[in-house]
Amino acid sequence: MDEIDVPESHPRYESLLTRHRIEHGVDLGITSRQGLIAQGRGEAYDYLLGERTTESADRAERAAAAHLLRADHPVLSVNGNAAALVPGELVDLADATGADLEVNLFNRTAERMERIADHLREHGAEAVKGLQADGRIPGLDHERAKVDADGIGDADVVLVPLEDGDRAEALAEMGKTELVIDLNPLSRSAQTATVPIVDNIIRAVPGITEHARDLQGASSDELDRIVDDFDRETALSAAEDAIRSGDL
Ligand code: PTJ
């Protein structure tokens, strides 16, 4: 699935690989066709960021790792784009932090839910939540309100990649700590997040895992310090500056 007919030395290799994975996700019935449009939007921001993890995004990834490690019940929310782009990487992050994986879709159908859960299992996930849908996020009238009561419903920290702003706001109102991966620092979800991670999901998820492994033996004081030192406003303006003044 990850094979594309382009050498790794090609300057656009990562972008072409990403497109290939999203396209394949649509073919497998995992990614919605709207996911193709979302990816195109994300790519434009990534291009302006220089297709790299900025220092500020790396700090956000470390803060996200610290949040996940000190959480009572961390959950990684998975949609059709995340499942197509980083299935194995999400399983690794769940392993490194003890987080649950939960499928949560904007364009929810029973078939897509099952296929994404199967896809995650094929990539090593032991348990996948989201199929019971016996909980609700108050104040949302679309399909993303449906959650597992013992999953996102019970979580204190939720990682939400490529989120829509409505649910991000609703989760924040429930008092949950939200870690958002979104290449657009001006999006409502990035603006609402406790930790906005302005980076491509294909770099951000392995980046958070690397920090989590590095912090595995850290004391709770050290994790608290990393969380307290992180400033979301500084992270958002650094990302916006990088986009506006990027030297391409
Ligand atoms: O699988 P579903 O049904 O849950 O639907 C998922 C999508 C992504 C289609 C749905 O949530 C959606 O339409 O999202 P939006 O409103 O288009 O927002 C997606 C956000 O993610 C945008 O701000 C993009 O800039 C950003 N984005 C897109 N691709 C990436 C990304 N951020 C990080 N990494 C990416 N690869």
Which residues does ligand 1 sit against, CB inside 6 Å?
32, 34-35, 38-39, 41-42, 45, 79-81, 105-107, 162, 164, 181-184, 187, 200-201
Out of 61-70, 140-149, 182-191, least confident range = 140-149
Question: Which residues make Cβ contacts (< 8 Å) with residue 213, sequence separation at least 6?
Answer: 96
Q: Is this structure's pTM higher than 0.85?
A: yes
Task: Identify the pLDDT of residue 109.
Answer: 94
Task: Identify the pLDDT of residue 11.
Answer: 77
Task: Identify the pLDDT of residue 123.
Answer: 97
Mean pLDDT for the chain overall:
94
* 141 or 137, greater pLDDT: 137
pLDDT tens digit string along 3-41? 677 788 887 888 888 999 999 999 999 999 999 999 999
> What mean pLDDT is predicted for residues 184-197?
95
**Ligand 1: centre distance to CA 46 (Å):** 13
Element (H, E) at 172: helix 165-173
Task: Identify the pLDDT of residue 3.
Answer: 62
**Ligand 1: centre distance to CA 215 (Å):** 29
Residue of 18, 21, 54, 162 to test ligand 1 pocket, by largest number of atoms within 8 Å of CB: 162
pLDDT tens digit string along 86-140? 999 999 999 999 999 999 999 999 999 999 999 999 999 999 999 999 999 998 8
75 within 8 A of 171, measured Cβ to Cβ: no
239 within 8 A of 92, measured Cβ to Cβ: no
Q: How far lies 141's CA from each of 42, 145, 167, 216, 217, in Å?
A: 26, 7, 10, 39, 42
- Closest atom of ligand 1 relative to the 38 alpha carbon: 17
Q: Compute the Cα dihedral for 22, 27, 28, 29 and give only its sign.
A: positive
- Residue type for 3, please? E
Out of 89-93, 142-146, 190-194, least confident range = 142-146
Task: Report d(CA 50, CA 78) in Å as an integer.
Answer: 26
Q: Compute the Cα dihedral for 158, 45, 242, 169 and give only its sign.
A: negative
* 112 or 247, greater pLDDT: 112
Beta strands in the chain (DSSP E): 74-78, 100-103, 135-136, 146-147, 157-161, 177-181, 195-197
Task: Identify the pLDDT of residue 13.
Answer: 83
